[in-house]
Amino acid sequence: MTDLSAPPRVVFLDRATLSPHIRLRPLPFDHQMQTYERSSPAEIAQRICDAEIVVTNKAPITAQDLAQAPRLRMIAVAATGTDNIDLHACAARGIVVSHIRGYALNTVPEHTFALIFALRRSLVAYREAVRKGRWLASGQFCFFDFPIRDLKGSTLGIVGAGALGQATAAIGRALGLRVLFAAHGNRASGDDDYVPLDTLLAQSDIVSLHCPLTPDTRHLIDATAFSRMTRRPLLINTARGGLVDEAALVDALKSGQISGAGFDVVSEEPLPAQHPFQAILGHPGFILTPHVAWASDEAMQALADQLIDNIAAFHAGQPRHVVKPD
Catalytic position from the list 47, 111, 210, 240: 240
Neighbours of 37 (CB within 10 A): 11
Catalytic position from the list 120, 275, 291, 321: 291
- 158, 179 Cβ separation under 8 angstroms: yes
Please write the tens of the pLDDT for every residue from 264-278: 999 999 999 999 999
> What pLDDT score does 184 carry?
75
Strands ordered across the beta sheet of 234-237: 194-195, 178-182, 155-159, 206-209, 234-237, 260-263, 286-288
Interatomic CA distance for residues 323 and 77, integer angstroms: 10
Catalytic position from the list 37, 268, 269, 298: 269
Interatomic CA distance for residues 6 and 8, integer angstroms: 6
The segment(s) of the chain belonging to CATH 3.40.50.720 are 9-103+297-315, 107-288
Per-residue pLDDT band at 185 (split at 50, 70, 90): low
Tell me: cis bond preceding 270? Omega within 30 of 0 counts: yes
Neighbours of 242 (CB within 10 A): 19
Please write the tens of the pLDDT for every residue from 113-141: 999 999 999 999 999 999 999 999 999 99
CATH superfamily of 107-288: NAD(P)-binding Rossmann-like Domain (3.40.50.720)
Residue 1: pLDDT over 50 = no
List the end-to-end C-alpha distance of the chain, in Å, as a whole number: 37
Please write the tens of the pLDDT for every residue from 55-113: 999 999 999 999 999 999 999 999 999 999 999 999 999 999 999 999 999 999 999 99
Residue 191: pLDDT over 60 = yes
Active site annotation includes 269: yes
Number of H-type helices and E-type strands within the chain: 11, 12
Percent of the chain residues past pLDDT 70, beyond the cut: 97
pTM: 0.90
- Which architecture characterizes domain 9-103+297-315 according to CATH? 3-Layer(aba) Sandwich (3.40)
